[in-house]
Chain A
Amino acid sequence: MLSKVENDLLTLTNSGTGAGEYFRRFWLPALMASEVPTQDCPPVRIRLLGEDLVAFRDTQGRVGLMEEFCPHRRSSLFWGRNEECGLRCVYHGWKFDVTGACVDMPNEPPEYGFENKIRTTAYPTREYGGLIWAYLGPPDKTPQLPKLEVARVPDSHRYVSKRLQETNYLQAVEGGIDSSHSNFLHATVDAFRVTDSYVAKVKSSPNLRAKYHLLDKAPRFTVKKTDYGLVIAVRRNAEEDTYYWRMTQFLLPSYTIIPYQKGNSIHGHCWVPRDDETCWVWTFTWNPDAPLSQEDREAIANETFVHAKVDPVTLRPLRNKSNNYGIDRELQRTATMTGIHGFASQDQAIQESMGAVVDRTRERLGTSDTAIIATRRLLLQEIRALQQGNEPPSAHNGDAYWVRSYSLVLNRQVEFDIGAREFMIAGV
């Protein structure tokens, strides 16, 4: 449970709000590099943290990100011409470069030098790991880029998708760290009912998760604060003398990494507030050791796991609220808990069903919600510290993000942070 004040502090993200200012202390993924693929390509509209912006790649290949509306008459620069190192408003011809400086104003007498006095709001960008990152905070507080493993692997080892979710970012983050939901929301009916055929299948499976989730339905949660955020360790009984541990990382301000099993690919998310009631879901799949496998490519193409297909213009998933996420009630009756195809759509459906911003004064949490409580408290501490003038240390410690989630079986005498330490360091 949270008070309304706390809920507002965490969920409001416009300029001047608690979480809004906090997010403005980090580099945030804003665009796929492929959305502005070439010099002088068409500009792209994007909303971030409640701000309507337009992005473009100029003649020199630099990516500009500026307020969408021309400071002259507030017309949209999305309709502008991207030409000769600047974006020109097609209404009266005012032209802005990537720094936001007005470099041409053909409708004003040149002797006035009016263009030299005009700027529009522009934000710095970086191209990194196939994405365009944006920093919307004060120039003198510019942070470091997070040293994420997914951004350092070769392009062939990585797949990144971006989609719109019609909820506040926080309930999406909470879905990412709430590992107990996967036994229900993402389960098959056989797994939920623990049928004989399911037991026979998973007992011989190399998938540790399926095997040990079956043996222990009441996991123990441990959270530990780290330089980058939190590690959330979930412990289940494995064999007589061992535990099965799954470690999820929450990386500030809003990343998670799904527990990884050696030999598979790693998956993670970043949820970036678009405004208070919508967010951008960035989903990452990467293999630190090899190009993505055929199995990974098929999961992406068939939307069976964490990625979902989207409308190319709006980036709204094709399965969405307006079509009930394509729910198949017969499939739900016979095969899967939701009847909705793919983990991404299942998460989206359930999170959007909670309303755009969950009223956390009305929820009823229990001890299996430890990870959610920890994430909220950490964010609240960080936001309040910033309000008191203390900058978030993780924003200036990109190296802290050089981590990887993990899952493994350890002897019962060994604590996870000792036994898994070497595996939780990224390794590209």
Chain B
Amino acid sequence: MRLNPAHIVAVNDFSEETLRELIAALEVSTEFEHLIYRESELDAVWSIAGFALKDEPNAIRREAIARLVNTAHLAHDLVADRRPREAADKLKSLL
């Protein structure tokens, strides 16, 4: 089923499943409103991952989360620049 870009994806974590949902939403987002929702979702991922990074003791895991934080930031700015498909590609690089 095609994802409705006018609905906000619930972001409770930064799991692969969440990222896949965000990617799917980004790929069908075209309107101002859609991009606002996508930006809020990426803000949420960036925030959650950023906090997790501070508490992560494992170095390998920390490196992965840091990469996710940076990528979410880049994707966020691409959405702000009305380039959602490029933002989706950035997130895909994490999978």
Interface residues of A (CB under 8 A from B): 1, 3, 6, 220-225, 364-367, 369-370, 373-374, 377-378
Contact = CB atoms under 8 A, between A and B. Distances in A.
A333 B61 CA distance: 42
A369 B10 CA distance: 13
B8 A367 contact: yes
Given A3-B77, A220-B8, A367-B11, A373 B47 contact: no
Interface string B26-59: 0000001101110111011011001100000000
Interface residues of B, number: 23
A367 B8 CA distance: 7
Given A220-B8, A373-B39, A367 B32 contact: no
A365 B46 CA distance: 9
Given A366-B11, A367-B10, A367-B11, A377 B39 contact: yes
Contacts of B32: 225, 374, 377-378
Interface of B: 6, 8-11, 32-33, 35-37, 39-41, 43-44, 46-47, 50-51, 73, 76-77, 80
Contact of A367 (B33, B44, B50, B77): B44
Name, among B6, B39, B47, B77, the residue most crowded by chain A CB atoms within 10 Å (CB to CB): B39
A392 B37 CA distance: 24
Given A364-B43, A364-B47, 15 more contacts: A1-B46, A1-B76, A3-B77, A222-B33, A364-B51, A366-B43, A367-B8, A367-B11, A367-B37, A369-B43, A370-B8, A370-B36, A373-B43, A377-B36, A378-B32
Closest 3 CB pairs of A and B: A364-B47, A365-B43, A374-B36
Contact of A222 (B6, B43, B77, B80): B6
Contacts of A366: 11, 40, 43-44, 47
A377 B50 CA distance: 23
Contacts of A223: 33, 36
A198 B35 CA distance: 39
20 contacts: A1-B46, A1-B73, A220-B8, A225-B33, A364-B46, A365-B40, A366-B43, A367-B8, A367-B37, A367-B41, A367-B43, A369-B40, A369-B43, A370-B36, A370-B37, A373-B36, A373-B43, A377-B32, A377-B35, A377-B80
Given A367-B10, A367-B11, A373 B77 contact: no
Contacts of A3: 77
A68 to B, nearest CB: 39
Contacts of B6: 222
Name, among B9, B11, B37, the residue most crowded by chain A CB atoms within 10 Å (CB to CB): B37
A130 B36 CA distance: 37
B58 to A, nearest CB: 23
A224 B47 CA distance: 25
Contacts of B80: 6, 377
B8 A365 contact: no
